[in-house]
Amino acid sequence: MATTELKTPSVLAFERKIDPSDGLFYAGRWENKEESEWFSVAIHEKSVRGTISNRLKAKDQDPAKLDAAIQNPNLQRVDVATLPPHADALKVHWSLRLLPGLGIPSACNNIQYQQKLQAIVKTYLEQPGLAELTQRYAHNLANGRFLWRNRLCAEAVEIEIRQVDQGQIKQTWRFDALSFSLRDFATPNQYQKELMSLAQTIEEGLREKPVFLEVIAFARMGAGQEVFPSQELILDQNSNQKGKKSKTLYQVDGTAALHSQKIGNALRTIDTWYPEAEELNLGPIAVEPYGSVTSRGIACRQPKQKMDFYTLLDRWVLKDEPPPTEQQHFVIANLIRGGVFGESEE
């Protein structure tokens, strides 16, 4: 009986295994942050009269009209979020769910492919294992990368992570976020044991049973200073509408917040294995099938380089060509990320 050639299924999807919540913003005092009463950070609107500072097309323009355009005020309505005058610290509180079942699709219409993929993932879990990935996820929790601009503006940042089981705190980790680098994954000596313990807990969630973590970040920003929740992308607003708000910030029931997607992007910023990593000097980038870095307008894993997720996965599953170990980490990290990866039938 002839063996049917294995093909990528047209339906192939994976649920994300690292699932963060939105991060809510609260304001309080740094010196007694453990006992301080924390208040929700509200978003309020501000109308500002700015100047025209964007690049103008000066070629073949009437100088008088150009001068008039430059002299016109730039009127804007924007959302802002600030700490109140009596508070100098920001607290960002969110939760993280870690789920097992790595390599098991949530949808797949080719059972032979699913069996082959699960066998490959099982082999990966045995050797080289999840230690490298979980250490990097733990590092991004400890270094406060998920705070984004708030981390860069803070004088001090402390991270507290709690494992919660059946409503009870099982264990707690604390880190000085600014002692960790955002450019590499070297662990400060004083946090070696704590980070290893956190990484092992993350691995337990990805291998065995669901693990629930609470993450609390304290950032000393300065009294009354601006803080930075996520900015909303307004898709259905008429671009010609006069008086429209030029910046809308995200809030949950009146409390400023970070999108769960933005937190998730920070946690999976672990890919240092992309081509030309040293030449591009970007540091770690988020795990994405094509290595997309939208803030730089580049894709670090273009298909022509044969280092994108789909090429590596197809070689591994369909051709029995395991990629190098670091690229195996990248493939498995994409499965942890989740997504729809089926082959188009067109």
Question: 325: Cβ–Cβ under 8 A, 6 or more apart, which residues?
Answer: 128
Q: What is the pLDDT of residues 227-260, one digit of tens each?
A: 999 999 887 655 555 557 889 999 999 999 999 9
Angular region, 31: left φ>0, alpha ψ -120 to 50, beta rest? alpha
The angle, 0 to 180 degrees and rounded to 10, between the axes of the packed helices 309-318 and 325-337 is 110
Give the pLDDT confidence score for residue 2 in this predicted structure: 41
In the chain, the amino acid numbered 314 is D
- CA dihedral 335→338→339→340, nearest 10 degrees, is 50
101 neighbors 17 (Cβ within 8 angstroms):
yes
Q: What is the pLDDT of residues 52-100, one digit of tens each?
A: 777 777 666 667 666 666 667 777 789 999 999 999 999 999 999 999 9
Using CA atoms, how far apart are residues 313 and 332, in angstroms rounded to an integer?
Answer: 9
pTM over 0.85: yes
Give the pLDDT confidence score for residue 346 in this predicted structure: 54
Give the pLDDT confidence score for residue 235 in this predicted structure: 75
Sign of the CA dihedral with 296 first, then 301, 304, and 308 last: negative
223 neighbors 85 (Cβ within 8 angstroms):
yes
Using CA atoms, how far apart are residues 102 and 338, in angstroms rounded to an integer?
Answer: 10
Residue numbers in the chain where pLDDT is lower than 70: 1-4, 58-62, 64-71, 236-243, 345-346
The backbone torsions φ and ψ at residue 160, rounded to the nearest 5 degrees and listed phi first, read -120, 125
The backbone torsions φ and ψ at residue 298, rounded to the nearest 5 degrees and listed phi first, read -135, 160
Q: Which residue has the tokens 């671009």?
A: 239
Burial group, residue 71, by CB count within 10 angstroms (0-12, 13-18, 19+) = exposed
Give the pLDDT confidence score for residue 178 in this predicted structure: 98
Six token digits for residue 156: 């001090």
User: 285 in helix, strand or coil?
Assistant: strand
User: 119 in helix, strand or coil?
Assistant: helix
